[in-house]
Amino acid sequence: MDIPIWKEHLTHLPLGDIYLFSEVGSTNLVAEQKIKAGAPPFSLVIADSQTEGKGRLGRSWITRAGKALALSWILYPEPGRLQPETLSILSGLAPVAVVEVLREIYALPAEIKWPNDVLVEGKKAAGVLVDVRWNGCLLTDVVLGIGVNVARGSVPPPQQLNFPAISLEEAAGKEISRLKLLTQIMGSLIKWYSRLVEPSFIQAWNSMLAFKGQKVNLTTERGLRGQGEVLGISDDGSLILISEAGQETEYHSGEIQLRLVDRS
């Protein structure tokens, strides 16, 4: 990663400070330090590699030098814009932005595995980790962490994966510039963040949803939470499943994992 060149390209976007590193533990943790140090809104932390990249629920995310994108975007939502009960919407922001870019610019068959995994050809190409901080009922700051597998060597070996994974270059069958992809994703993120509480955002998320009409299991670490056919996303970003008896149930994100039911 040529840090001065990357920085120069990113300065054209309406962002706060831009922090670029060749290696960090986790860009989300660096972003939290930057928040404490007074980083302006829309600041961006990017690293070429992570030694302790974070997944959700204590899992880890692998980012190999020169192969992937690892970024954390700092947001300070205006007071009252997002309530605890509408927080799920925020988990859709990064996947909607990434999938839009992959579909429209790279013609890749990208989808969102609710709540926030990006699949290409049914395999995970990007993961999202949203870290939030509250002051009472007020959401004060958000770190939106995004990891994207770009080059072939970005995908960890199967024994380190809890779901099949793929890189964008493997799916596209051609080289992809990480810098161009980054600026495209940031452009899409900026656009969708401004539309987050508009109906068009949920419509976009719905149109990108994987497994529609298919039967899935929803599990937590404590076991099965629900089962049914995927119907869509509700206005607050919950997943709606319909049972065989026709009963609809909404699930909020958080601990839930989604898996296609194996019919073999």
Contact residues for ligand BT5, defined by CB under 6 A: 26-28, 50, 53-57, 59-63, 70-72, 117, 124, 127-129, 145-147, 149, 154-156, 160-162, 165
Q: Which is nearer to ligand BT5, 11 or 162 (CB)?
A: 162
| Least distance CB 27 / ligand BT5 (angstroms) | 4
Helix or strand (DSSP H, E) at 187: helix 178-194
Taken in order 259, 99, 128, 241, the sign of the CA dihedral is negative
Question: Which phi and psi (to 5°) does residue 126 adopt?
Answer: -155, 150
Nearer Cβ to ligand BT5 (66/79):
66
Q: Would you say 80 or 157 has its CB closer to ligand BT5? A: 157
What is the residue whose two structure tokens read 């429209």? 104
For 216, phi then psi, to 5°, come to: -130, 160
Cβ 137 to ligand BT5 shortest distance, Å: 26
Which of 235, 228, 223 has the alpha carbon at shortest distance from 211?
Answer: 228
**Is 230:68 a contact under the CB 8 Å cutoff?**
no
CB of 75 to ligand BT5, least distance (A): 14
The minimum distance between CB 46 and ligand BT5, in angstroms, equals 9
Q: Toward ligand BT5, which CB reaches closer, 52 or 235?
A: 52
Query: Toward ligand BT5, which CB reaches closer, 19 or 61?
Result: 61
Q: Rounded CA gap, 249 and 264, in Å? A: 26
176/163 Cα distance (integer angstroms): 23
Q: How far apart are CA 108 and CA 205, in angstroms?
A: 16
How many Å apart are CA 225 and CA 111, to the nearest integer?
A: 23
What is the closest distance, in whole angstroms, from the C-beta atom of residue 193 to ligand BT5 in the complex? 17
* Strand pairing class (44-50; 18-24): parallel
**N residues, the chain:** 264
Q: Which is nearer to ligand BT5, 68 or 139 (CB)?
A: 68
Residue nearest to ligand BT5 (CB): 127
**Least distance to ligand BT5 from the beta carbon of 167, Å?**
8
Residue 149 Cβ, how far from ligand BT5 at the closest point, in Å? 5
Question: Measured between alpha carbons, how far is 87 from 69 in angstroms, rounded to an integer?
Answer: 25
CB nearer to ligand BT5: pick between 238 and 257: 257
